[in-house]
Amino acid sequence: MNILIIGGGGREHAMAWKVRQSARVNTIYCAPGNAGIMQIAEPVPVAPDDLRGLAAFARQHDVQLTIVGPEAPLCAGIVNEFHSHGLRIFGPDAHGAKLEGSKVFAKEFMRAHGIPTAPFAVFQQLDKALAHVKKKGAPLVVKADGLAGGKGVTVCQTEAEAELAIRAALEQRVFGQAGATILIEDLLHGEEASIMAVTDGKTIRALEPAQDHKRVYDNDTGPNTGGMGAYSPAPVITPAVLREIDHHVLQPALAGLRQEKIEYHGVLYAGVMIHQGRVQVLEFNVRFGDPETQAVLPRLRSDFVELCLAVADGRLQAHEMVWDPRPAVCVVLAAGGYPGPYHQHHPISGLAQAAALADVAVFHAGTERRQDQVVTKGGRVLGVTALGGSLSAAIARAYQAVACLHFEHAHFRWDIGAKALARL
């Protein structure tokens, strides 16, 4: 069968890499792809936001399954468009995608269905938001309601920081329309983890848990990023905690989706905070995480395409996922300046040497090919994933591969997985 993948980052490269391992697959197409993805997939001459054009391409090229990577096309209604043409696609429709597209919608959904989350208030007016902060006090979290490229959340330790974040959204409109409505919520304490579950609307199952590293520098310092690395499994998610998540988060979410008559076939990603065994949801996403996917999919031994088909076709209950017990660690190499304005178009060397190491995969995120040379294009450039017989072995192998790779102004964290080692 022919497969179409929507997206062009490290997550989508990991998905394409896993799809290529399926015996059922003939041709993989990708829109827009990157230099790494295009080694195993064919480019699609359609803009990734042209939903009608992508559906037409899928019909013309006998695409039997489309897998959507990023949230923007899901929120824009790509699933609705494909379904209107009878095309099979992995992902929730526009209504379900509001769980990520609108933080207000997600929080109200959680409150309505008894899913534990931080207390919150919603504001569109500057004076009322500032008055709330003065009454409530710090610490607080200020969130833009809409999609803001991962930059719409500000953790505020003081009232002054909260005021700056509120003014940035409501007064200066730094997030545009996405920040015209904001949430102000209590700061949750504990350790954060990522639970990516798949659901066909009738059954919901968690994939192996992972833990992301959001801050740009070692020891969780510096500004937030899209993610500087991840590992799986996450020791903070004990079997008891996972049962708690299933009972208090995943099952109520599935019941809520059904109660609200939301057609949901895809990923429900819960970012959770764990404190003394108690679980609270920070946010929902409606797609695979990045870079968590680069740490989780290499551990999936069963067929990824079969899993996606079972979700899309409503057959998840009968599908069995098989996992590699070995830990996986993904280290992200970023461009100089990231997460701010970053350098681009620097040649990358060492790709073949890193990929030749046993149990290592190098996933391209922000890359392109120029005159037979792979160069940097995005803020997060590469994700280097390694499996190991132990977490420490996986970490050592990942950094061995990182040492093979070079581009000007590259930077990365040296402590990916250290938190898990300390817990173990």
Q: What is the pLDDT averaged over residues 297-316?
A: 98
Find where tokens 């937030």 sit: 224
Torsion sign (Cα): 28, 29, 30, 36: positive
Mean pLDDT over the full length of the chain: 96
**pTM of this structure:** 0.95
Count of alpha carbons within 13 angstroms of residue 145, beta-carbon side: 20
Three-state secondary structure call for residue 280? strand
Find where tokens 């870079």 sit: 291
pLDDT tens digits for range 84-108: 999 999 999 999 999 999 999 999 9
Q: What is the pLDDT averaged over residues 39-59?
A: 96
Closest C-alpha to 242, from 203, 270, 264, 213: 270
Output phi, psi for 118, to 5 deg: -70, 145
Tokens of 210: 């992972």
Looking at domain 191-318, what is its CATH homologous superfamily? ATP-grasp fold, B domain (3.30.470.20)
Count of alpha carbons within 13 angstroms of residue 396, beta-carbon side: 6
- Cα separation, 265 vs 80, in Å, equals 12
Three-state secondary structure call for residue 78? helix
Res 150 pLDDT > 80: no
Q: What is the pLDDT averaged over residues 263-286?
A: 95
pLDDT band at 224 (very low <50, low <70, confident <90, very high): confident
Q: What is the pLDDT averaged over residues 152-176?
A: 94
pLDDT band at 423 (very low <50, low <70, confident <90, very high): confident
Cβ neighbours of 4 (radius 10 Å): 27
Cβ neighbours of 286 (radius 10 Å): 23
Question: Can you give the pLDDT at residue 254?
Answer: 98
Closest C-alpha to 213, from 234, 228, 194: 228
Question: Can you give the pLDDT at residue 223?
Answer: 86
Ordered DSSP codes for 232-249: ES-TTS-HHHHHHHIIII
Output phi, psi for 361, to 5 deg: -130, 135
Percent of the chain with pLDDT over 70: 100
Fold of 125-180: Dna Ligase; domain 1 (3.30.1490)
Give 346: exposed, middle or buried? Use CB within 10 Å, 0-12, 13-18, 19+: middle
Contact in structure between 80 and 94 (CB atoms under 8 Å):
yes
273: which residues sit within 8 A by CB, 6+ positions away?
188, 189, 190, 191, 192, 279, 280, 281, 282
- Cα separation, 190 vs 196, in Å, equals 19
Res 59 pLDDT > 90: yes
pLDDT tens digits for range 354-385: 999 999 999 999 999 998 899 999 999 999 99
Number of H helices, E strands in the chain: 15, 22
CATH number given to 328-423: 3.90.600.10
Question: Can you give the pLDDT at residue 406?
Answer: 98
> Which stretch of DSSP H or E encloses residue 63?
strand 63-68
Three-state secondary structure call for residue 59? helix
Three-state secondary structure call for residue 381? strand
Closest C-alpha to 223, from 133, 161, 292, 134: 161
The domain ranges of the chain are: 2-91, 125-180, 191-318, 328-423
Question: Can you give the pLDDT at residue 60?
Answer: 97
Could you give the C-alpha distances from 241 to 74, 208, 248, in angstroms and in order? 30, 13, 10
What one-character DSSP code corresponds to residue 187? P
In this structure, whether the domain defined by 2-91 belongs to CATH 3.40.50.20 is answered with yes
Contact in structure between 376 and 345 (CB atoms under 8 Å):
yes
Three-state secondary structure call for residue 74? helix
Tokens of 43: 């480019």
Q: What is the pLDDT averaged over residues 186-190?
A: 94
Tokens of 36: 């790494």
Could you give the C-alpha distances from 56 to 18, 46, 59, 100, 110, in angstroms and in order? 25, 10, 5, 27, 36
Tokens of 302: 């069963």
- Cα separation, 40 vs 194, in Å, equals 28
Question: Can you give the pLDDT at residue 277?
Answer: 82
pLDDT tens digits for range 204-222: 999 999 999 999 999 999 9
